[in-house]
Structure 1
């Protein structure tokens, strides 16, 4: 693939680091799952059919930590389809991919492993692959948006130890969504709007918040039109009529945004046919029917009273499930007993607000004009580099919108993985803070040095955002080896990433509450 074959030492190091981190994550989850007893959580836990064999037990011992909480839903859907109504909160592209790998690439293992074990193995392989590709795509995206390879490099390395790392490795859709979303953003930065729209459309088949990504396409069309008229006709150049320009931009925006929304619409229609259509005779094993009776789950296509969402003018099963099954809604989570979950989401909330504030203070006019005013530096081809680059504006708006929606309208503890898999801003801003306060980071022999000032006249003397190529040494390893010598702010940022990476593995893999 183009992502991993380019002769870029930074990119190769990102891929190498991502592979090592995913391997270490898989090893640690197996160790934690072995040493820490599982918590008896009140979570979706369907009976295992058929009974596991010896090889199935081995796979469960090695990879069982990846099948906790919502991962049970994805594995169940991949194995038996959308049998229960509340399964429809989980979109189909990821479980379909698991089933394809289990029945395709892992088909030779069929005599040894039952389908669920092959699905679990597929999840480990696919999540590792997608998280590595997501790290590479984030690096390429950062090079385009930040216009600084060093900042993009460090941000991609931080993604490898993301606070949501356990979800990037588990049987969750986060890694697949991050890969598609970051890849789509990268293609849009390159001007490949139709390829970007295709990737965004696939992302909306993975997670519901993929619909928000249509805003990137709308903004790109609006910005292109605004810049076009600000340049002016120029000598010997005549602009097309205004109506023709508006029609071209509007038609492009409508088609691409409709494409992004299409997977969501099709899935809602599928759910309507399955749960609101005439009753069908489904061959549901008795233990699964009993589970539905015990837990109050609604089976698909059964005769009797239809769910209330079927009679709505626009029947959307996703919002119904979020409302009825999980009590998701505006300010519903603001209860005294949820204070620990708000504390759990506090670091990513502070980082998100800090990032937005930093960008607004650095670019007040750019923010007031919504980035639609062509600045003199851009006309001269020398835009500002780093996190405060003009191109970062739309990403900051996107991250801030997700942050406020997640904080006020969702179960707040999922905010960490929600932002970590959807927006590059968390990694860009963290890299910005580290580079700003650790000026020694890119100097030769920095792993053996304390904090020092850069040599006079060096490329680093200009700013931490300098974009000249340096040695392809791994700055993340340098930071870790020099952790006691870091500034308090850098220790907090790096400590947050490491602590959530390790705690997430220990807690989530044993059915203990986590983000």
Structure 2
């Protein structure tokens, strides 16, 4: 018999093993597509033993697309200008773990050690993120069954391949859910995981809003500003909260912002010094890395002044995204991209539907910023609501990410961006699915048969499925399987 958290642990492990097997099968059976994409330059002098060939056979399908960049950065650093689009924490961790592995397992070469290190990091981060997500959902909804269902759905999310492949999604999801839960519980050193999330992905910056919001939320609870319920606009409420803030609150918020952003600022300084000030030294890079730059017309660090170096605020990230990937406001709105819009439509619809339902339920309380409930006109009118009011900040966060996806990024990226950054999709689908267990109250999150299994869960043994159940499972499982097939063979996916 397994408690819900332990059940989530084992199911998360099971799904990672399934993803690995699917990737191996598809990679072996289907020839790779010759994509016009970056492929890391390999060291021709590096010995490849039988153990390295086995690693390549088992995990090569995980190294596609951005995985090539992460492996290159982990080994050689930021050698080319286009590598600046990828944040350093994940490749740095790959490098550190790989160095340890080469000492512990000298059978593998450095390239194989890095691939194994990346797989291990993603495995650990994903399992921990599933458990943290369960705790977060239980904290918000105060319901074990709801938390369990949402966490199970997270384990089979439609971007599952990216949580196992050499991408930073698993690490970012773990840090993001940890920040969300830590902010609710007012953890004192929340700025540390915040800084790490910002060094993992660019959208980690918006996570700063969570500790700030819950700091103000707790201030409202402690001050009991019931009289301000009568204020009917956001500005009035905000002004009253600012007047109630003490020096301690200002120091806490400012220190969180400054400490969290410090590593990001240092990263920008490092990029500027490396590409705009330092002189180019050919001896500092291996010959095959230099040759790859010549063959593909890539800008090397310190070789020439890049255009972004002369900007008033020299930020490499936005320039690289715009120049190399055509990322920018409405740049992706082209007829030829319609299939990619269709690909992203399900997750955009689900997230927007969740936001719409929440706003509909709390339209009379929105001006209160989710800090407290508005009093009903008549105490006899008590309506059971689908969503808790404490979801307010998550809805605002999700809405911001939706707008960012719709107007600025390659639209198909929405699936993995939202799946790793916001819990709304899982909460909405968990509430929508019809699964209900009528066993003893302690076992209500699963059937008595499933609760004794490490991998068997409700949607695998459900006798009847509603149409909504079928759509959700078709989307989650379908995208997982198709994603493994497409990604492992260098075919374009989300």
Query: How high is the TM-score relative to the length of structure 2?
Result: 0.89
Partner of 2:397: 398
Q: Is 1:37 paired with 2:31? A: yes
Alignment of 1:236-251 (within 5 A): 245-251=245-251
Alignment of 1:358-369 (within 5 A): 358-369=357-368
Say if 1:61 and 1:251 are closer, same or farther in 2 by CA, change over 3 A. Answer: same
Q: Is 1:25 paired with 2:19? A: yes
Task: Give the whole-Å Cα distance in 2 for the aligned partners of 1:385 and 1:342.
Answer: 36
Task: Give the whole-Å Cα distance in 2 for the aligned partners of 1:97 and 1:387.
Answer: 41
Contact 2:446 2:458 in 1 (8 A): no
Say if 1:387 and 1:107 are closer, same or farther in 2 by CA, change over 3 A. Answer: farther
TM superposition shift of 1:285? 2.4
TM superposition shift of 1:272? 0.7
Contact 1:217 1:257 in 2 (8 A): no
Partner of 2:369: 370
Task: Give the whole-Å Cα distance in 2 for the aligned partners of 1:18 and 1:259.
Answer: 33
Q: Select between 471-480 and 13-22 the one with higher mean Cα deviation.
A: 471-480
In the alignment, structure 1 segments of 5+ residues that lack a partner are 1-6, 234-240, 378-382, 445-457, 460-467
Task: Give the whole-Å Cα distance in 2 for the aligned partners of 1:347 and 1:490.
Answer: 14
Partner of 1:203: 197
Partner of 1:122: 117
Residues 247-268 of structure 1 deviation map (CA, whole Å, 9 limit, x = unaligned): 3222211110222222221111
Partner of 2:329: 330
Query: Pick from 62, 85, 90: which aligns with 2:86?
Result: 90
Say if 1:384 and 1:178 are closer, same or farther in 2 by CA, change over 3 A. Answer: farther
Task: Give the whole-Å Cα distance in 2 for the aligned partners of 1:137 and 1:478.
Answer: 21
Q: Is 1:286 paired with 2:287? A: yes
Task: Give the whole-Å Cα distance in 2 for the aligned partners of 1:387 and 1:11.
Answer: 24
Contact 2:351 2:425 in 1 (8 A): yes
Residues 312-343 of structure 1 deviation map (CA, whole Å, 9 limit, x = unaligned): 22211111111111110111000000001001
TM superposition shift of 1:469? 6.0
TM superposition shift of 1:310? 1.0
**DSSP 3-state at the match of 1:365:** coil
**DSSP 3-state at the match of 2:390:** helix
In the alignment, structure 2 segments of 5+ residues that lack a partner are 228-240, 377-381
Contact 2:195 2:261 in 1 (8 A): yes
Task: Give the whole-Å Cα distance in 2 for the aligned partners of 1:14 and 1:242.
Answer: 41
Partner of 1:492: 471
Contact 1:184 1:195 in 2 (8 A): no
**DSSP 3-state at the match of 2:365:** helix
Partner of 1:3: none
Q: Which has the higher contact order (CA 8 A, sep 6+)?
A: 2
Contact 1:150 1:469 in 2 (8 A): no
Task: Give the whole-Å Cα distance in 2 for the aligned partners of 1:232 and 1:351.
Answer: 35
Partner of 1:407: 406
Contact 1:148 1:385 in 2 (8 A): no
Say if 1:471 and 1:345 are closer, same or farther in 2 by CA, change over 3 A. Answer: closer
Query: Pick from 103, 106, 124: which aligns with 1:107?
Result: 103
Say if 1:226 and 1:487 are closer, same or farther in 2 by CA, change over 3 A. Answer: same
How many corresponding residue pairs?
468
Say if 1:513 and 1:247 are closer, same or farther in 2 by CA, change over 3 A. Answer: same
Contact 1:184 1:199 in 2 (8 A): yes
Partner of 2:232: none
Partner of 1:454: none
Q: Is 1:477 paired with 2:457? A: yes
State the Cα RMSD in Å: 2.5
Task: Give the whole-Å Cα distance in 2 for the aligned partners of 1:365 and 1:197.
Answer: 33
Q: Is 1:311 paired with 2:307? A: no
**DSSP 3-state at the match of 1:364:** coil
Task: Give the whole-Å Cα distance in 1 for the aligned partners of 2:320 and 2:260.
Answer: 22
Say if 1:122 and 1:333 are closer, same or farther in 2 by CA, change over 3 A. Answer: same
Partner of 1:253: 253
Task: Give the whole-Å Cα distance in 2 for the aligned partners of 1:397 and 1:384.
Answer: 23
TM superposition shift of 1:56? 1.7
Residues 203-224 of structure 1 deviation map (CA, whole Å, 9 limit, x = unaligned): 1111110001111122122323
Partner of 1:148: 143
Alignment of 1:216-235 (within 5 A): 216-231=210-225
**DSSP 3-state at the match of 1:293:** helix
Q: Is 1:501 paired with 2:489? A: no
Task: Give the whole-Å Cα distance in 2 for the aligned partners of 1:227 and 1:365.
Answer: 19
TM superposition shift of 1:374? 4.6
Partner of 2:51: 55
Task: Give the whole-Å Cα distance in 1 for the aligned partners of 2:57 and 2:2.
Answer: 39
